Amino acid sequence: MTSVVDAAQLAGTVSHDLSIWGLFWQADLIVKAVIMALLAASVWCWCIIFQKMGMLKKLNDRADKFEEAFWSGEALDKLYARVQKSKEDPLLNTFKAGMEEWHLSNENNGGKKVTLQAGLQQRIERSMAITITREMDKLERYMTFLANTGSSAPFIGLFGTVWGIMNSFSSIAMTQNTSLAVVAPGIAEALFATALGLVAAIPAVISYNKFSNDLNRYADRLEAFSSEFSAILSRYFEKQKAAE
C-alpha cells in the first residue's frame, strides 16, 4: 500500500515537458519509432514534391520551345540534327524515335527515299508510342511513394495514438490515480503521433492528385504530338508518291 501511495505522490510531483521535443524524448520506444517513421516519410515526400514541381516546369518550358521550332517550318532533318545535340527530354525523344525509324527504313532501302507504306507508318507510330510509355514511366517515378504515404500515414499515426493511450491507461492502473498529471503525457504522445500522421498524409495526397493530373496532361501532349507528327509524315509521303 505504501508503494502505491508513494507512486501516486511521485506522479503528482513529476513535471512533464509537453513541448514537441519533450513529447518525443518521453515517448515510449514504439511511439518514438512511429514518430521517426512519419517524420522520415514527410521529409521524403517534400523532396519528391519539390523535385516534381521543378521537373514539370522544365518539361513544359522545353516542350513549348520545341513545338515553336517544330511548327516554324524548319526542315525536319535539320531540326532532327539540332535535337541530337540537346539534353534528354521526353518530347524530343519521341520526335527522335520517329525520325530514327524513318531514317532506318531509308537505310534499309539502299538510301532511296521510301514511299509511304502501311508497315512503315505503323512502325513509326509504334516506335513513338513505346518511347512515350518509357518516358512516362520515368516521370512517374516515386509517385507510388506519395500514394502509399497518403493512404497509410494516418493509420500509422493512429497506431501510435492507440499505443500512447494504452500507456496512459497503464499509468492509471499502476498509480491508481486518474489526475491529468498521470493521463496527460500519454494522451499528448498519442495526439502528437496522430498529428504527424496527418502532416505526412495531407501534402502527399494533395501533391499526388496534382502531379497525376499534370503528368496525364503531359502524356496527352506527347500523344498529340505523336499523332501530329505521324500525320505530317503521312502527308509528306503522299506528296512524294504523287510526284513520282
pLDDT tens sequence across 144-169: 999 999 999 999 988 888 887 877 77
Burial class from Cβ neighbours inside 10 Å (0-12, 13-18, 19+) for residue 122 reads: exposed
Domain ranges in the chain are 28-243
65-112 pLDDT, tens digit each: 999 988 887 788 888 888 888 888 999 999 998 888 877 876 655 545
**CA 21, 179, 35 angle in degrees (round to 5)?**
25
Least confident of 110-114, 180-184, 215-219, 240-244: 110-114
164-189 pLDDT, tens digit each: 787 777 767 676 666 666 666 667 77
Please report how the helices 143-175 and 180-243 are oriented relative to each other, as an axis angle in degrees rounded to 10: 170
pLDDT-derived band at 244 (thresholds 50, 70, 90) equals: low
* 153, three cell numbers: 500515414
The one-letter code for the residue type at 86 is S
Instruction: Select the highest-mean-pLDDT range: 5-14, 156-165, 177-186, 214-223.
Output: 214-223
Q: pTM for this one? A: 0.77
Instruction: Provide the mean pLDDT of the chain.
Output: 80
Q: Are 131 and 93 in contact (CB under 8 A)?
A: yes
* 19, three cell numbers: 513541448
Least confident of 1-15, 33-47, 114-128, 163-177: 1-15
Q: Are 125 and 234 in contact (CB under 8 A)?
A: no
Q: Is the pLDDT of residue 239 over 90?
A: no
Mean pLDDT of the 53-57 span: 95
Distance between CA atoms of residues 70 and 80, nearest Å: 10
Q: Is the pLDDT of residue 46 over 90?
A: yes
% of the chain residues with pLDDT over 70: 73
Q: How far is CA 130 from the centre of its chain?
A: 22
Q: CA-CA-CA-CA torsion for 119, 120, 121, 125, nearest 10 degrees?
A: 100
Task: Look at the alpha carbons of 172, 36, 193, 23 in this order and tell me if their dihedral is positive or negative.
Answer: positive
